[in-house]
A and B are shown apart, each in its own frame.
Chain A
């Protein structure tokens, strides 16, 4: 299973005797732009041109540039077609092996394609996510087999530590350290430890985990199995949002195929290691992304968090030591084990290694899924890869970290994107949502938007979060309707501090962040609303009516 052995010649991309492969993106974005119809049209065109033996049409995961969908790529030829319509099918099929259809071609030399570095997304858009054969042809399960046959569990943890990988779920906790804690914990009285994959993706404006699950589900399963081997667990759970039915379906298919092929279940690859994975569906509660709440939810309860310590590493699911990592964290693992920790650590910055997947959205020309080396500047992401703000509008801020993060203004565009720098400027890396706002957005309104979110997602268990977020929301409503005084602003700041320092879990502790960061960089907008009863962006409707609690 050496990597050289499995690289296919350019003339036979699928290893199945066919010369060409047309890969149609069937991930959520392109599906809603009508890619299913394009796929059918291409299949018909292949048939009507009598090319069934030379060309196949394959449904693949996200090709990245969602704003230009439906996307079709010609495998191994570095050609991606954008805005494809069923009527273009014949022309595309006729061009195979000849000059590509210029009219539909994406510019592959544009920074959107050239500035990315793909580790997590290396198979996205290339393999068929519903066929394990495709994953195997792309070096899939090489890492698991290497771990089981050549490495001890201790070696595996060692490689992960060496890689410098940090949790991609938001907080950036060193993954190797977490794994070694669980590896050392004593199993519960019935000998159990658990591995959980957090696929709750609650940040409202982010879809990285969804795309990974829909485009390359086996990769996550492989990462979890390696984690099980390293930590001594034999049961894994994936906690995935019910709002992602396609991801759930593809995961179910992937688990079934992996079990059938002996990569999951009892005695994996004929070793003594056994590992099962079950799916648990979330039910639309943001707080369930928090690890202790997630565990409560898997146990069938209301998803409310509990104080830590004890951390799940010692006392997790059903009281047993439990490893919880994010989807993207696990998706990095197979590559690290295949190439070694040092290979991974050679990318990124001193304290933040590797790459990060971002969901680029909002007021930016190229929206979609990107993977970039950590340490790239925000300017490169927004203006080079993203192509800047459309319609001649002016850039105002980029929001990262979702409801726990903040808004970063133009003056910080040249700073590197890494865990430490983002927190220093009052935001956070978060799970990877990156939303660009231009001059048409009001920053006070954005702060109110996130506060409304935190208020309604607060689980109600602790008072600072339950009552504090509602109070802060009321104050923000007062400001955005032109009824607030400067004392209200002082009160808001005081509440931010109180809620931040006294809430039980990360939801409340970070709920004030969007307010604090917009106050830090856009204080004049708050003051305009308060002193001159005017919304500079023209978003807020100033009125003299009484404010209602939303």
Chain B
């Protein structure tokens, strides 16, 4: 029995391709969820249901896996993302202050999106640029040796000018 796609959105084809590549084996669940997140930006309930049916894995198990791993997000992300690294090297070099400054400037808590949907503020456990700590990733671009003023300037440029 073939599960029916939740909509005729073309992105489901990418999800199908991943599952097909693994012969719809239940053990490709995590790979399938990665593709969903990559294509849709987050894991919608419909997507979880679709993957569960396609791989013949109980929905409870899919939900269990999706919520176990921090990389998966169940909420849609804002138009821009700002990830403040809170790994050891960055922490020692003052990442907490950076995080606090974005929080108060943009009025958003870590893990949430601003009410206008412009910016999601996230934290990471090391983005692997410890030599340039503290590091912040804005829209997939890593900034090293970040200071509060540089961060607020960059955020201003990439986020606020669109308001």
Contact = CB atoms under 8 A, between A and B. Distances in A.
B80 interface: no
A205 B132 contact: no
B126 A203 contact: yes
A302 B68 CA distance: 6
A244 B34 contact: no
A363 interface: yes
Nearest to B92: A362
A367 B131 contact: yes
Interface residue tally of chain A, by bracket?
Answer: 35 or more
B13 to A, nearest CB: 20
Interface string B119-163: 000001111111111010000011110000000000000000000
A185 interface: no
A131 to B, nearest CB: 23
8 contacts: A32-B132, A32-B143, A67-B131, A243-B127, A244-B128, A284-B72, A285-B70, A300-B65
Given A31-B142, A204-B87, A205-B87, A297 B30 contact: yes
A205 B29 contact: no
B71 A242 contact: yes
Given A283-B70, A300-B30, A435-B89, A207 B65 contact: no
B115 interface: no
Nearest to A67: B131
Contacts of B141: 32
B130 A283 contact: no
Contacts of A299: 27
Which 5 A/B pairs are nearest by Cβ-Cβ distance? A66-B131, A205-B88, A283-B69, A284-B71, A204-B87
B41 to A, nearest CB: 14
A210 B128 CA distance: 7
A359 B71 contact: no
B71 A283 contact: yes
A369 interface: yes
B91 interface: yes
Interface of A: 28-29, 31-33, 66-67, 69, 201-207, 210, 242-244, 280-286, 297-303, 359-363, 367-369, 399, 402, 433, 435-437, 441, 446, 449-450, 453, 459
Contacts of A202: 125
A297 B27 CA distance: 9
B76 interface: no
Residue in A28, A69, A300, A446 whose Cβ sees the most chain B Cβ within 10 Å:
A300
B126 A207 contact: yes
Contacts of A453: 125
A66 B89 CA distance: 14
A457 to B, nearest CB: 8
Given A32-B129, A207-B130, A368-B131, A303 B68 contact: yes
Nearest to A436: B92
B64 interface: yes
Nearest to A29: B131
B59 interface: no
Contacts of A242: 34, 71
Nearest to B124: A243
A33 B69 contact: no
A362 B130 CA distance: 8
Nearest to A402: B88
Q: Considering residues A283, A299, A362, which has the most beta carbons from chain B within 10 angstroms of its beta carbon?
A: A283
Contact of B65 (A284, A301, A361): A301
B74 interface: no
Nearest to A359: B130
A286 B131 contact: no
Given A33-B132, A435-B130, 13 more contacts: A28-B128, A32-B142, A69-B132, A204-B125, A205-B130, A243-B71, A280-B31, A282-B71, A285-B69, A285-B71, A367-B133, A369-B131, A435-B89
A286 B68 CA distance: 11
Nearest to B126: A204
A362 B93 CA distance: 6
Interface residues of B, number: 39
Nearest to B65: A302
B22 to A, nearest CB: 9
B78 interface: no
A170 B129 CA distance: 20
A303 to B, nearest CB: 7
The residue in B26, B29, B72, B133 that gathers the most chain A C-beta atoms within 10 A of its C-beta is B133
Given A32-B142, A302-B68, A449 B91 contact: yes
Nearest to B26: A300
Contacts of B143: 32
A206 B126 CA distance: 8
A67 B87 contact: no
B28 interface: yes
Contacts of B128: 28, 201, 207, 210, 243-244
A360 B27 CA distance: 37
A29 B129 contact: yes
B129 A207 contact: yes
A399 B43 CA distance: 37
Contacts of A433: 88-89, 130
Most central of A285, A299, A302, A402 by chain B CB within 10 Å: A302
A13 to B, nearest CB: 26
Contacts of A282: 69, 71
B132 to A, nearest CB: 6
A32 B139 CA distance: 13
B34 A361 contact: no
Contacts of B93: 362-363
A260 B141 CA distance: 32
Contact of B92 (A297, A363, A368): A363
Nearest to A453: B125
Contacts of A204: 86-88, 125-126
A206 B133 CA distance: 11
A368 B125 CA distance: 18
A205 B142 contact: no
A203 B88 CA distance: 9
Contacts of A206: 126, 130
Contacts of A298: 27
A299 B144 CA distance: 36
Contacts of A207: 126, 128-131
A205 B89 contact: yes
Contacts of B27: 298-300
A63 to B, nearest CB: 11
